[in-house]
């Protein structure tokens, strides 16, 4: 098999945030898949060729099959290449910046700002649970679907949030920020209150 037998995957910029979970798929080598199945079916007595060229052909076919899996072709089980810590940190930083910006845009003047009970809600998309956990300062992906996080911890994790109106500054108020996480859909929602 030559490299021309495989279609190169389409490349596009992706940071794991906002619906970037789609990726071009290529068909894995059926020969490589069949070879793996045959070897695993009878691992102890699989015949090893004596000819060096035949052994080399098997190694090359297995290597090409492994490469297609690395590039995201995968089987129906959906093999997914993991991100490095730096990639997770970069994606988490972008997610935090988007959330802070979105929350600030909602912080406009309302009469309820005087009592600190004006409401804000930020809906977002993050297909990668590792990135979402890192954005909130967790050591891994969240294991919950809803959690109340103390306001100070929330702002320490994503950044200080301060809105501005004509004569006052607006801040997140209340004791907690509610965080909802839908891992199946890759969506999340932050909600809380703000005021002067």
Q: With contact defined as beta carbons under 8 Å apart, do 62 and 35 qualify?
A: yes
Q: What is the pLDDT of residue 27?
A: 47
Q: What is the pLDDT of residues 164-186, one digit of tens each?
A: 888 888 888 888 888 888 878 88
For residue 156, the SS3 value is: helix
Q: Quick check: pTM over 0.85?
A: no
Average pLDDT along the chain? 75
Of 81, 119, 68, 88, the closest CA to residue 17 belongs to 88
Q: How far apart are the first and last CA of the chain?
A: 68
H or E element in which residue 152 lies: helix 151-158
Q: Which of the pair, 18 or 196, is modelled with greater confidence? A: 196
pLDDT tens-place string over residues 48-96: 888 878 777 877 787 777 777 776 654 444 434 567 778 888 888 888 8
């Amino acid at each position: 098999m030559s490299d021309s037998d495989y279609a190169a995957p389409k490349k596009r910029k992706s940071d794991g945030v906002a619906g970037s979970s789609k990726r071009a798929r290529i068909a894995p080598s059926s020969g490589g898949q069949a070879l793996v199945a045959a070897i695993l079916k009878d691992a102890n007595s699989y015949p090893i060729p004596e000819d060096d060229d035949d052994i080399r052909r098997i190694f090359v076919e297995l290597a090409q099959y492994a490469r297609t899996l690395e590039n995201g072709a995968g089987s129906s089980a959906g093999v997914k290449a993991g991100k490095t810590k730096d990639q997770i940190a970069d994606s988490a930083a972008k997610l935090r910046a988007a959330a802070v910006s979105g929350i600030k845009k909602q912080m406009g003047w309302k009469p309820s700002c005087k009592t600190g009970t004006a409401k804000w809600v930020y809906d977002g998309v993050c297909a990668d649970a590792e990135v979402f956990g890192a954005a909130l300062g967790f050591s891994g992906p969240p294991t919950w679907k809803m959690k109340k996080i103390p306001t100070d911890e929330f702002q320490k994790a994503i950044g200080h949030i301060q809105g501005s109106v004509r004569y006052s500054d607006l801040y997140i108020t209340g004791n907690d920020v509610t965080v909802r996480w839908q891992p199946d859909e890759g969506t999340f929602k932050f909600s809380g209150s703000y005021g002067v």
